[in-house]
Every structure is written in structure tokens, then in C-alpha cells.
Amino acid sequence: MWIHNTACTVMMMPVATGILQRLPRGGAGAGTGAHDEVRRFSKAVVLGVVYASAIGGMATLAGTGVNIILVGMWSTYFPEQEPITFSSWMSFGLPMALILFLALWITLCLMFCSNNTGKALSGYLDRSHLRRELSLLGPMVFAEKMVLAVFGGLIVLWMTRNLTADIPGWGALFHNNVGDGTVTIMMATLLFIIPSRKNKGEKLMDWDKCRKLQWDIILLLGAGFAIAEGFRSSGLTDILSDGLRFLKGAETVVIVPVACIVSGVVTEFTSDDATTTLLLPLFAELAKAIDVHPALLMVSGAVGAQLSYLLPTGSPSNVIGFSTGHITIKDLVTTGLPLKLVGIAALTVLMPTLGSQVFGTNSKF
């Protein structure tokens, strides 16, 4: 929820595979039945990391580039409308993520676990051994506590900048001239000021560490906005939107799943960020052409782009999971398809209900 889903997968996959290294592979040291249980459990752990990273990223603006692209394009195409803020998106994205997370847990349990799984794993995953390894880590040091404090403060400031129409957030003190990016830069600056207490003069963050960050993500997002402007100025969005004009006059329960499915199909063959960059300008122009609230199409398209659960090409997280050797494309398809269907169904229900409160989709646009 709080860091980019790809970075989360990169960070958590070694943890998962480190646990799985304690389990036998290739049948060594286990009977056929026990080996099958261990193999299925290994698949469930890897798939859980891959999908949970994507699902959690859906809940906040910080979790994935798709949501950031959505916010940028929304303000570009509809600057007169209320902006999508961190708190407003989370009030919609978190329930969506919770539904998908529950569906993920149920799917993994039904497909990969049985009544014999615990017995098969008991000889390899000893709880006392894990507790002993945890104790060897020792207590949190000063640097870790300070990073946690800055991170917690960032979340609180994100959530309280705008509260409700009746209860203004702290942003009102600055006449609402500050955004979520302002808070992010301010808190990141603190990392360059607070000492780490590891070495004399060392700070929590310095430029040598900062240079190793994934700056290409910023270039990718900027390129996305440029491409979107090119789509609009060249008239390409008008041409492409003609193919979806049959949605004019359709009910919300038809518009939302169609937009989600179109985006969800495209995202399986290219990255979710690229899908969002290509389709959101199309949906923005289409909303004007068929006279519907643009959030119905743009939010549905953004959520659909994040449902890239079926193929390794869908997202870097899928590639990371696939590269472990524990899962196959068949595992991705059989596990991801139920999740994708649940996501489309949940979005179809949430957009006309919760979405009308968050994005005002019932109001005249």
C-alpha cells in the first residue's frame, strides 16, 4: 500500500523464497504425497507475494504508478473538477483491495492447500527456530525508528490534508495550495537532515543512496503524460473512441465492466503503466462524446489495468514471481482468472455506490 508494488515484490520475494529454501525440492527427503503438498504450498507463497503486492498497491496513490497516472491525467483533462486526493482515492481503493485480498486468500487456500498441508510442512517450518532467528535480529536501532517515524508522519499528513466538506484538513491553513507531492518532498527532505547515528556525520539519506533510486519511473510517468497529450492534440483519441460509442445511453452497470475488461485485456500484453497511459486519454474523450461522468470510464480503466494477473508480461511483479521457478504460466492463469473476475464484479458494484460518493459519478457532469 505504501511503496510501489514492484519494489514491494522485489523486497518480499527473497523473504518468501528464503522460507521455501527450508523445504525439500524435487522430492528429496519427502514422500510423494508430502512432496506434492510442499510443491503446492511453495506455489501459493510465491503467488501470494506477487498478487498481494499488486492488490495492496491498488489501495493508495503511492502503491502503483497507475494511480499516479490517473491523478495526473484527471487534472490535465478536467482541471475544473475536484482533484483526486490521497484520502479520496484510499476511501475507494482500500475497500476494493480488501475484497480482492479476501478473494486471493480463499483462492490460494482452495487451490493449493489441503487438510494435510500443515502436517507435511511441520517437519521443515519449526516455529521455535523462526522465533530464534527473529531474536537474533535484535531491537530496532535509532535509524530504523527515525525512518519509521518519518514514514508514519507522511501517512498521517497524506490522510489529513483534506478531510470532509464540513471538516477542513490542515491544507486549509495554506489555502489548499499544497498537494500530496508537497508533503512527500518535505518528509523526504527530513531524511537528509536527521542523523543515522551509525557513523559520525552520516544522515538517514545522502545523495549516493539517492542516485540508486529508480528514477526511470519518473521518466516513464512523464512520458505517459506526453503521449496522452499527443493522443489528444492529434485527434487519435476521437478516432479510437468511435469504436466504443455504443456505450452512449448505457447503464453504469454496463459502462463500468466494459471499460474494465478492455483495460484488463490490454494490460496482460503490456505493462499496467503503459496500458493506463494509452487508454485513459481514450476514455476521457469517450466520456465527453457519450455524455457520462469521466470517472466511470477513467477509474474503471485504471483499476482494470491493475488486474494484470494472467501472464508474466502483465507486470514486473509477475516476472519476478515467474523467475523463481516455483510457478508456471498455468499457475498464473488458473489463480489469476478468478481474481480478475472478482475484481471486475467488485468494481461494477462499488462504482455506482461508493464511487458516487467519492467521485460524484451520479452528478451531472
Q: pLDDT tens digits, residue range 20-33?
A: 887 776 544 455 66
**What digits encode the pLDDT tens for the residues 127-145?**
777 788 778 878 888 998 9
> Shortest CA distance to 183 belongs to which of 57, 4, 62?
62
- Whether 255 has a pLDDT exceeding 60, the answer reads yes
C-alpha angle 296-299-302 in degrees, rounded to nearest 5: 140
The per-residue pLDDT for range 177-216, each reduced to its tens digit, is: 787 778 888 888 999 999 988 888 888 888 888 887 767 6
Overall average pLDDT of the 155-177 stretch = 76
pTM above 0.85, yes or no: no
Residue-wise pLDDT for 51-103, tens only, equals: 999 999 999 988 888 898 898 889 888 888 888 888 889 999 999 999 999 99
Position 53 scores a pLDDT of: 93
For residues 300-329, one letter each, b for 16 or more C-beta atoms within 10 angstroms of the residue's C-beta and e for the rest, the string is bbbbbbbbbbbbbebbbbbebbbebebbee
Each residue's pLDDT tens digit, 301-346: 999 999 989 888 778 888 888 888 888 889 999 999 999 999 999 9
| Whether pLDDT at 2 is above 50 | yes
Domain boundaries, the chain: 5-136+214-359, 142-197
Q: What is the pLDDT of residues 214-223, one digit of tens each?
A: 676 566 556 6
Residue 7 has pLDDT above 60, yes or no: yes
Q: Which three cell numbers stand for residue 252?
A: 453504469
Distances (CA, A) of 30 to 36, 81, 115, 123, 326: 9, 61, 17, 10, 17
> What CA–CA distances, in Å, run from 88 to 61, 112, 337?
10, 36, 29
- Is the per-residue pLDDT at 175 higher than 80? no
Q: Please state the three-class secondary structure of 36-47 as a single string.
A: HHHHHHHHHHHH
For residue 244, what are the CA distances in angstroms to 19, 257, 307, 357, 362? 48, 13, 21, 26, 21
Contact partners, residue 65, CB within 8 Å, separation at least 6:
4, 217, 220, 221, 272, 273, 276
- For residue 28, the model assigns a pLDDT of 47
CA distance 2 to 59: 9
Question: Average pLDDT over the chain, rounded to whole?
Answer: 83
pLDDT at 27: 46
